[in-house]
Structure 1
Amino acid sequence: MTTAAILTVSDTRNLDNDKSGQTIATALTTAEITVTQRLVVPDDIVAIQSAFLQLELTEPDMIITNGGTGIAQRDVTFDALEPLLPVTIPGFGEHFRQISFTEIGTRALASRALAGFNVRNQLCFVLPGSTNACQTALQQLILPEWQHLLFERRK
């Protein structure tokens, strides 16, 4: 059984109105991945890192975050999590921006979406907060590739 945890970063959302987190959970469940936990934290580096490290300790195979990956001053998710991912997968962010470019044009350049592995070798995806962006990442990148990425890392 494959497990995943979801972390939403937002100053305005909670578990009840977190459409992107719910969308991620539904897509994972449909793909027969068990969602073990969902958290929502504000756009704050310490809160993000604390929640992420808390999720690490629950030992999911994957951690997927959404929100705070843009370039606004409040968008600090990338800054909080990039240091916690010693092994990055550059092709994920590159391809995500390429796909997004066809959907939203040059606004895709502002995305700092990324993927990698933390020190516990859990597969981590750092996604924008937009529900459409989460759906795009899941359907076109994450769901087709997560098994291969985990297999390669666990060799």
Structure 2
Amino acid sequence: MSTSPEQHRQAAPRSVRCAVITVSDTRTVETDTSGALIRERLERAGHVVVGYAIVPDEREAIGQVVDEFVARSDCDAVLLNGGTGIARRDVTYEAIVERLEKRLDGFGELFRWLSYREIGAAAMLSRAIAGVYRSKIVIAMPGSTGAVRLAMDELIVPELAHLVLEARK
């Protein structure tokens, strides 16, 4: 007997424990509007933010903080924003892709498609990525507030608990 996506969602945890990482050389806690938006959207959906960090655009630093959050037993998912473009300093993609055991290519594809509808061809510059790392969900999205709002509202919040359920299997 097959199950529908709705049946899977009903079996998913009601609340997911998340860490939020902002990748930026310039943002501070006071100026990190995208990180604040992620935390607000998660909490509004009934999820719990168990950690928050701002990390410079340095591949090793990003990887270290992701590793620390993924190692925590009270963390189910790590959501990053920033550093997913093509500028020389944008290294979030590289830090994440080398860790993923399973990639969720559909996340990046859908994000770019939705972005294209809003901003046109510039959407191709995004290297948004998601996947599974040590049975935890890791999602990296662009750092602009508009991109974060789009990713959170259209993709992440609606499926996060279902993603966590599947990653735990």
- 2:58 is aligned with 1:44: yes
Q: Does structure 1 retain, via aligned residues, the 8 Å contact 2:62–2:92?
A: yes
In the aligned structure 2, how far is the partner of 1:124 from the partner of 1:54? 13
Greater C-alpha Rg:
2
Match of 2:110 in 1: 95
Which among 37, 49, 55 is matched to residue 35 of structure 1?
A: 49
Identity over aligned pairs, percent: 42
Aligned to 2:85: 70
TM-aligned CA deviation for residue 152 of structure 1: 2.2
Alignment-derived partner of residue 81 in structure 1: 96
Where in structure 1 do 4 or more consecutive aligned residues deviate above 3 Å? none
Q: Is the Cα–Cα contact under 8 Å of residues 22 and 55 in structure 2 kept in the other structure? A: yes
Normalised TM-score (structure 2)? 0.88
Deviation string for 1:43-65 (max 9, x for gaps)?
Answer: 00111111111111223111000
Gaps of 5+ in 1: none
RMSD: 1.0
Cα drift, residue 153 of structure 1: 2.5
What is the deviation of 1:70? 0.3
Shift of the alpha carbon at 1:81? 1.0
Aligned residues: 154
The residue type equivalent to 1:6 in the other structure is V
Kindly state the Cα deviation for residue 104 of structure 1 after the two structures are TM-superposed.
Answer: 0.6
Question: Structure 2 CA distance, aligned partners of 1:147 and 1:49?
Answer: 24
Secondary structure of the structure 1 residue equivalent to 2:98: helix
